[in-house]
């Protein structure tokens, strides 16, 4: 059996006195699409940020494609693409300039002719010269998607990809997940929209209060969530 | 290998021995040693001034080494030790400046005479007090430790540069500097005080590190144990659809 | 090297798009020069004597404004983190930012010179050397200033922390720059200027390397 793409052992992360993740252990197979479900504050974003090496785990360890998150951080960054909550954009600059900066640091083609189709794909071609400060939240999200599309990497992490988007944007994300799945990429999608995402996922992980509450098929997890609508997660604080 | 009881009492031991040495040394320096030929009684201040100077630099050097150790190894005890070293160093530097002023007023008629060593100490005092302030404003322990370690290294590297720049700056204006180490035959009180302050400082740093370590331990306490609320905590995501 | 060029290009874009801020800082610097002269009084001789000190104090105070602002765009929407996740080199990011801050301060310094000439009747014909001193002094402020700015943007009470940390550290830069500028304006009979320039070069050599090395630890999560 092929070794898992992502292996997490006992990952815990605290912010001040609050533990956002507690003892998360997961094994994500190569090429699979996994839903990370859970309420607000359940730790979905934190988990993705830890796996993307944006933040370090307080306890525990993880490897992605065999590279340790902390010891081989640069290698992990070369394998993982993150569509995060934060837009990662420079407000004073235009959409095109933001993409060009990313392209330059990636040392790939950065002239307008090459990046324009990318912006067109996410529906920003007409506004490419406008400063990002004038963008709505949805447009910033589209720019982030364009940024992610600059690279094709083995692992893609999507943190609330549908947030702030309109119906056309939803289709954009659906297509993105489908394309990634078909190309054999390993995908983790953190989302509230369980009913939309579960059908296209191989499996789902439910987080509650920073801990792994259950792992199963998308429909099983979806059922569990809908059967416990009012349960508040425990507070992990000293 | 010291027994646990002894290692707990060790800082107290250092402080007691240090205080005793300092008292004896100061007594001898104040009442037994003869007054210096040119300076008179005020010269007796050198018996505490010089040891304080040595030890404040020692404390800050210790902080620098602890900072390096933290950045390289990442062990939390080095952060605790660095915090202790900086605080003790700052207090000693402050005392040094006060002693310098007490010496300068009867000698030169002004409270501050821009002596290179003393001025460097004042700058150091402010630089490291700034690092203490930095630590107060950062809540996350990891970030606090890393940033203050970086700041300590940068401030410490500046010490010789500040000294030389003030020395050159001052050399045109001031013809005399503070008198050299006590040149009389009575090195005994000086040495006693030097060791006295050294032991006090070591005991003090040990106690302070302990306090810092205890605080770190409470900040870094592991997460609470799993309640019955969440089950199935460890599993492998299967490939089923 | 490509990373450094990318960083410099980014800084160029940001500086160009935020050029109105520079104007505000220039006004601040000029106001400071004016206020200092009120502290001394209208004695032309005294003003000329201390003109170098005023220039560098004005530049030092202005630097706190430019430096603390320099990381605002990076942290507002986590742009810096975004670049780090693209495997961008932290060292290149530091040098790009430090060079941009350096040029900003140097240009500000040179802009304040004519003001100094007018207000204090303090000038020199050796503009080349004056420019050199301003470049070296600004560099000395910029390297540690950029490092500390990266720290304080993410901490609380940033406006207080930056000067608190930076000012004691750059005492040698202040001393050397003021002395060298003063000798240029008032005359240097004993040929001391080279030693002060030497000190500035030494400070810059140490701090541009040290801060570049340590920047990665400051911006990465720990």
CATH of the domain at A203: 3.40.50.300
State whether residue C81 sits within 8 Å of chain A by CB: yes
Total number of domains constituting chain A: 2
Cα dist from A62 to A13, A55, A66, A182, B223, whole Å? 13, 13, 9, 26, 18
Contact partners, residue C179, CB within 8 Å, separation at least 6:
B169, C52, C192, C196
Task: State the pLDDT confidence band at A2, using cuts at 50, 70 and 90.
Answer: low
Contact assessment for residue B196 and residue B19, using Cβ atoms and an 8 Å cutoff: yes
Question: Comparing A102-111, B22-31, C31-40, which segment has the lowest mean pLDDT?
Answer: B22-31
Q: Is the pLDDT of residue B177 over 60?
A: no
Closest residue by Cα to residue A190 from A205, A179, A178: A205
Question: Comparing A215-224, C25-34, C133-142, C192-201, which segment has the lowest mean pLDDT?
Answer: A215-224
| Residues B71-75, mean pLDDT to the nearest whole number | 90
Contact assessment for residue A152 and residue A181, using Cβ atoms and an 8 Å cutoff: no
Residue of B nearest to C209 (CA): B154
Question: Comparing A44-58, B146-160, B221-235, which segment has the lowest mean pLDDT?
Answer: B221-235
Domain of residue C143: give its range: 2-219
pLDDT at B14: 85
Pairwise CB contact (< 8 Å): A104 & C5: yes
Cα separation, A198 vs A212, in Å, equals 17
Both A113 and A199 in one domain: the answer is no
Which residues of chain C are within 8 Å of residue A80 when distances are taken between CB atoms? 85
Both A126 and A217 in one domain: the answer is no
Total number of domains constituting chain C: 1
State whether residue A154 sits within 8 Å of chain B by CB: no
Question: Comparing A175-179, B157-161, C218-222, which segment has the lowest mean pLDDT?
Answer: C218-222
Task: State the pLDDT confidence band at B173, using cuts at 50, 70 and 90.
Answer: low
Q: Is the pLDDT of residue B176 over 70?
A: no
Both A103 and A216 in one domain: the answer is no
Cα separation, C3 vs C16, in Å, equals 20
Neighbours, chain C (3 or more CB pairs < 8 A) = A, B
Both A48 and A144 in one domain: the answer is no
State whether residue C95 sits within 8 Å of chain B by CB: no
- DSSP per position, C98-142: HHHHHHHHHHHHHHHHHHHHHHH----S-HHHHHHHHHHHHHHHH
State whether residue A62 sits within 8 Å of chain B by CB: no
Q: Is the pLDDT of residue C201 over 60?
A: yes
Task: State the pLDDT confidence band at C39, using cuts at 50, 70 and 90.
Answer: confident
Name which residue leads in pLDDT, C121 or C28.
C28
Total number of domains constituting chain B: 1
State whether residue A97 sits within 8 Å of chain C by CB: yes
Neighbours of C73 (CB within 10 A): 19
In a domain, B228, yes or no: no
Which residues of chain A are within 8 Å of residue B232 when distances are taken between CB atoms? 212-215
Cα separation, B124 vs B85, in Å, equals 13
Closest CB from C3, C7, C87 relative to A77: C87
In a domain, B237, yes or no: no
Cα dihedral A148, A149, A153, A159 sign = positive
pLDDT at B231: 42
Closest residue by Cα to residue B212 from B84, B124, B101, B90: B84
Task: State the pLDDT confidence band at A238, using cuts at 50, 70 and 90.
Answer: very low
Return the beta strands (E) in A1-121 as ranges.
Answer: 6-15, 18-28, 33-37, 59-64, 67-68, 80-83
Name which residue leads in pLDDT, A192 or C102.
C102
Cα separation, A79 vs C5, in Å, equals 24
Which 8-state DSSP code applies to residue A123? T
Pairwise CB contact (< 8 Å): A104 & C10: yes
Q: How many residues are present in chain B?
A: 241
Torsional class of C121: left (φ above 0), alpha (ψ -120 to 50), beta (otherwise): left
Domain of residue B197: give its range: 11-33+42-215
pLDDT at B47: 80
Mean pLDDT of chain A: 89
Which residues of chain B are within 8 Å of residue A34 when distances are taken between CB atoms? 237
Pairwise CB contact (< 8 Å): B230 & A15: no
Cα separation, C106 vs C108, in Å, equals 5
Task: State the pLDDT confidence band at B178, using cuts at 50, 70 and 90.
Answer: low
Q: What's the gap in Å between the CA of B118 and the closest CA on chain C?
A: 14
Both A126 and A49 in one domain: the answer is no
Question: Comparing A80-94, A131-145, B207-221, C91-105, which segment has the lowest mean pLDDT?
Answer: B207-221
Q: List, for residues C58-83, the tens digit of each pLDDT value.
A: 999 999 999 988 999 999 899 999 99
Both A192 and A167 in one domain: the answer is yes
Q: What is the ipTM of this complex?
A: 0.90
Cα dist from C79 to A93, A110, B7, whole Å? 12, 18, 49
Cα separation, B203 vs B15, in Å, equals 5
pLDDT at C89: 93
Pairwise CB contact (< 8 Å): B229 & A15: no
SS3 A122: coil
Contact assessment for residue B189 and residue B28, using Cβ atoms and an 8 Å cutoff: yes
**Which A residues, 140 through 179, put their C-beta within 8 Å of a C-beta on chain C?**
140, 147
SS3 B85: helix
Name which residue leads in pLDDT, B53 or A236.
B53
Both A161 and A223 in one domain: the answer is yes
- DSSP per position, B110-172: SS----HHHHHHHHHHHHHHHHHHHHHH--SHHHHHHHHHHHHHHHHHHHHHHHHHHHHHHHT
Task: State the pLDDT confidence band at B241, using cuts at 50, 70 and 90.
Answer: very low
| Residues C109-129, mean pLDDT to the nearest whole number | 88
Q: List, for residues A25-75, the tens digit of each pLDDT value.
A: 999 999 999 999 998 888 999 999 999 999 999 889 999 999 999 999 999
Question: Comparing A14-18, B79-83, B126-130, C15-19, which segment has the lowest mean pLDDT?
Answer: A14-18
- DSSP per position, B26-73: HHIIIIISPPBTTTBGGGGGHHHHHHHHHHHHHHHHHHHHHHHHHHHH
Task: State the pLDDT confidence band at C214, using cuts at 50, 70 and 90.
Answer: very high
CATH at residue B91 = 1.20.120
In a domain, B6, yes or no: no
Mean pLDDT of chain C: 92
Q: Is the pLDDT of residue A84 over 50?
A: yes
Radius of gyration of chain C (CA): 18
Task: State the pLDDT confidence band at B113, using cuts at 50, 70 and 90.
Answer: confident
Neighbours, chain B (3 or more CB pairs < 8 A) = A, C
Phi, psi of A155, rounded to the nearest 5 degrees: -125, 130
pLDDT at B118: 87
Cα separation, C45 vs C121, in Å, equals 9
Torsional class of A16: left (φ above 0), alpha (ψ -120 to 50), beta (otherwise): left
In a domain, B198, yes or no: yes
Phi, psi of A147, rounded to the nearest 5 degrees: -60, -45
State whether residue C6 sits within 8 Å of chain A by CB: yes
Contact assessment for residue A212 and residue A233, using Cβ atoms and an 8 Å cutoff: no
Q: End-to-end alpha-carbon separation of chain A, Å?
A: 42
Q: Is the pLDDT of residue A15 over 50?
A: yes
Question: Comparing A96-105, A220-229, C61-70, C182-191, which segment has the lowest mean pLDDT?
Answer: A220-229
Closest CB from A80, A92, A140 relative to C73: A92
State whether residue B32 sits within 8 Å of chain C by CB: no
| Residues C188-199, mean pLDDT to the nearest whole number | 88
Q: Is the pLDDT of residue A12 over 70?
A: yes
pLDDT at A227: 73
pLDDT at B237: 43
pLDDT at B232: 43
Pairwise CB contact (< 8 Å): B230 & A203: no
SS3 B75: coil
State whether residue A111 sits within 8 Å of chain C by CB: no
Pairwise CB contact (< 8 Å): B157 & C199: no
Cα dist from C144 to A135, B19, B148, whole Å? 35, 40, 14
Cα separation, A26 vs A18, in Å, equals 22
Domain of residue A26: give its range: 1-79+154-176+183-238
pLDDT at B240: 38
In a domain, B164, yes or no: yes
Residue of C nearest to B140 (CA): C222
């Amino acid at each position: 059996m092929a070794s898992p793409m992502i292996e997490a052992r006992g990952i815990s992360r605290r912010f001040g006195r609050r533990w956002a993740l507690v003892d998360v252990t997961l094994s994500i197979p190569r090429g699979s699409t996994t839903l990370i479900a859970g309420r607000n504050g359940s730790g979905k974003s934190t988990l993705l940020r830890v796996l993307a090496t944006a933040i370090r785990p307080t306890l525990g360890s993880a490897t992605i494609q065999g590279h340790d998150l902390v010891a081989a951080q640069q290698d992990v960054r070369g394998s993982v693409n993150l569509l995060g909550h934060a837009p990662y954009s420079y407000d004073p600059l235009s959409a095109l300039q933001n993409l060009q900066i990313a392209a330059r640091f990636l040392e790939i083609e950065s002239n307008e002719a090459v990046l324009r189709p990318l912006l067109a794909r996410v529906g920003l071609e007409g506004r490419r010269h406008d400063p990002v400060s004038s963008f709505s939240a949805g447009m910033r999200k589209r720019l982030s998607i364009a940024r992610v599309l600059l690279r094709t990497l083995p692992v893609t992490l999507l943190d609330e990809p549908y947030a702030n988007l309109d119906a056309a944007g939803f289709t954009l994300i659906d297509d993105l997940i489908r394309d990634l799945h078909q190309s054999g990429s390993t995908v983790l999608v953190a989302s509230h929209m369980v009913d939309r995402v579960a059908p296209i996922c191989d499996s789902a992980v439910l987080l509650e209060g920073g801990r792994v509450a259950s792992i199963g098929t998308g429909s099983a997890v979806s059922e569990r969530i809908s059967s416990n609508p009012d349960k508040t997660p425990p507070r992990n604080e000293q | 290998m010291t027994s646990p009881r002894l290692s707990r009492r060790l800082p107290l031991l250092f402080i007691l021995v240090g205080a005793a040495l300092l008292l004896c040394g100061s007594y001898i320096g104040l009442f037994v040693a003869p007054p210096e030929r040119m300076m008179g009684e005020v010269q007796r201040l050198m018996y505490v001034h010089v040891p304080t100077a040595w030890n404040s630099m020692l404390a800050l050097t210790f902080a620098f080494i602890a900072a390096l150790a933290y950045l390289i190894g990442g062990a939390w005890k080095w952060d605790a030790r660095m915090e202790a070293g900086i605080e003790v160093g700052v207090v000693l530097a402050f005392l040094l400046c006060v002693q310098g002023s007490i010496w300068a007023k009867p000698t030169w008629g002004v409270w501050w005479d821009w002596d290179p060593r003393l001025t460097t100490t004042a700058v150091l005092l402010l630089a490291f007090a700034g690092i203490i302030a930095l630590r107060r404003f950062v809540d996350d322990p990891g970030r606090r430790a890393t940033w203050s370690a970086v700041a300590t290294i940068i401030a410490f590297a500046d010490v010789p540069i500040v000294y030389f720049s003030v020395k050159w700056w001052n050399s045109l204006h001031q013809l005399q500097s503070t008198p050299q180490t006590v040149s009389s035959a009575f090195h005994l009180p000086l040495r006693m005080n030097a060791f006295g302050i050294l032991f006090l400082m070591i005991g003090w740093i040990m106690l302070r590190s302990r306090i810092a370590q205890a605080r770190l331990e409470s900040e870094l306490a592991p997460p609470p144990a799993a309640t019955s609320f969440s089950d199935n905590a460890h599993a492998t995501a299967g490939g089923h659809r | 090297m490509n990373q450094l060029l990318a960083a410099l290009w980014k800084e160029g874009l940001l500086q160009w798009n935020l050029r109105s801020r520079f104007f505000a800082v220039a006004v601040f610097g000029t106001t400071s020069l004016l206020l200092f002269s009120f502290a001394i009084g209208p004695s032309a001789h005294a003003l000329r004597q201390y003109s170098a000190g005023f220039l560098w104090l004005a530049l030092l105070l202005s630097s706190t404004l430019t430096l603390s602002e320099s990381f605002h765009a990076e942290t507002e929407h986590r742009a810096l983190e975004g670049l780090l996740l693209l495997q961008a080199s932290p060292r290149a990011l530091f040098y790009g930012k430090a060079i941009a801050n350096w040029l900003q301060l140097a240009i500000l310094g040179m802009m304040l010179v004519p003001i100094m000439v007018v207000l204090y009747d303090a000038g020199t014909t050796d503009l080349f050397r004056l420019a050199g001193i301003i470049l070296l002094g600004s560099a000395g402020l910029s390297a540690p200033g950029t490092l500390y700015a990266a720290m304080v943007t993410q901490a609380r009470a940033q406006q207080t922390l930056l000067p608190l940390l930076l000012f004691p550290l750059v005492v040698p830069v202040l001393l050397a720059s003021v002395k060298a500028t003063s000798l240029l304006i008032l005359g240097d009979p004993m040929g001391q200027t080279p030693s002060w320039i030497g000190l500035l070069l030494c400070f810059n050599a140490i701090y541009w390397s040290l801060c570049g090395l340590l920047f990665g630890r400051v911006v990465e999560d720990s």
